[in-house]
Amino acid sequence: MYCPKCGNTITETAAYCLHCGANLNVYAQQTNFVQPHSGRRKKNLTTLLLTLTVIMSVAVVLLGISFIGNQTKDSGSHRSSNNLYNSADEIPSIAPKYPTEEEIQSQVTPSITITQAPTTQAPITQTTTTAASVYTKDYDYAVVYIENTYDVSGWSDDDIQLAINTILARNQYRFQYDDIRNHFSQYPWYNPNTSDMAVAESRFNSIEKTNYYYLAACRENRPASNNSSSGTTDTYIYDTLYVENTYNIATWTRDEIQFAINAILARNHYIFQTNSIQAYFSSFSWYYGNTTDMSIVESRFNSIERTNYEYLTRWRNAKD
């Protein structure tokens, strides 16, 4: 016997279904109640299983067909790539027609020859061991140390002065002398914008600064020139000897004392306001004036020069 509500098996004497709790007496009193057939559930289950089996079989068949088709296509493609024709029967009876040489020539684009105007280029100065080749094009005083690169002992006084002027010119110093200024003005990189030596020196990089003072020291330590007109100027000792301990200044005239003072100023490149003094010192290769600012000149003194300058100035004032 089966429960009229849930369809599970129950005993014939049961008043309630043990599975769903249905009141079996209520269903028994209904006149139109028909007991479920005992084989209905099994029939429905069998039908469901049969349907699923058919669907799965169809799916397997379709997948197999698709797989076989792909394999055939890949095999044909591989065969075609390795061998264009499988047999002589498949070779076309008409050979492919290749273009003739005339047809090829007719399709070639004629070449175009472009003639470029010659470029005018200034001759490049070759690097040598002299200063002259460096101040024009191959300026290297900002990147290499002169002491380690050049043999300055073989340079003339003019070479050394030229190298010093080149460093100043590269830092856009406006020279007081027309000949020097005109010389550097022929180069496109020279655009002077200051007459203040302190400004020009502040633009030096560390290598330029080292080279600048090294060249100045080489120039100052050169032996006395044979064309000397005065030992006081060519044989310059005011930066290495104390005047007070070397000379008897009491016997000097005021002009001699002033001359010694001027020598210290000239060695530190002061531009004199008096034309005769300026012309006198300009006759020496080591002299190039570059400032009229006395504070700049005095800032260049070494300790011995400063002591001598102050000592000589006191004696000059005492003789006024």
Backbone φ, ψ for residue 2 (5° rounding): -125, 150
Query: What pLDDT was estimated at residue 138?
Result: 63
Q: Is the dihedral angle over the CA atoms 190, 192, 197, 199 positive or is it negative?
A: negative
Per-residue pLDDT tens, the chain, 320 aa: give them: 778 878 788 887 787 887 788 887 777 666 455 455 444 555 567 778 888 888 888 888 888 787 776 665 555 544 444 444 444 444 444 444 555 666 655 554 444 343 343 333 333 333 334 444 444 446 888 888 988 888 888 888 788 888 888 998 999 998 877 778 888 999 998 999 998 878 888 999 999 988 888 887 787 666 543 333 333 444 677 877 788 887 888 888 998 899 999 999 999 999 999 988 988 888 888 888 899 999 999 999 988 899 999 999 999 999 88
Beta bridge partners of 194: 173
Q: Which of 48, 65, 82 is the last residue of a domain?
A: 65
164 and 235 fall within a common domain? no
CATH number of 143's domain: 1.20.58.1690
> In this structure, is residue 266 part of a structural domain?
yes
Query: What pLDDT was estimated at residue 41?
Result: 53
228 and 320 fall within a common domain? yes
> In this structure, is residue 250 part of a structural domain?
yes
**What gap in Å lies between CA 316 and CA 167, rounded to an integer?**
36
> In this structure, is residue 155 part of a structural domain?
yes
By the 10 Å C-beta count (0-12 exposed, 13-18 middle, 19+ buried), 215 is classed as: buried
Apex CA 127: angle with CA 124 and CA 128, to 5°? 135
141 to 238, 240, 252: CA distances (angstroms): 29, 28, 43
The HSE-up count of residue 285 (CA atoms within 13 Å, CB side) is 17
> In this structure, is residue 182 part of a structural domain?
yes
Q: b/e per residue, 140-172, with b = 16+ CB within 10 A?
A: ebeeeebeeebebeebeeebbbbbbbbbbbbbb
> In this structure, is residue 204 part of a structural domain?
yes
Q: How many domains does the chain have?
A: 4
Asked if 261 contacts 232 with a C-beta cutoff of 8 angstroms, the reply is no
Asked if 316 contacts 257 with a C-beta cutoff of 8 angstroms, the reply is yes
Segments forming the whole domain that contains residue 25: 1-34
Asked if 312 contacts 261 with a C-beta cutoff of 8 angstroms, the reply is yes
230 and 191 fall within a common domain? no
> In this structure, is residue 80 part of a structural domain?
no
pTM: 0.36
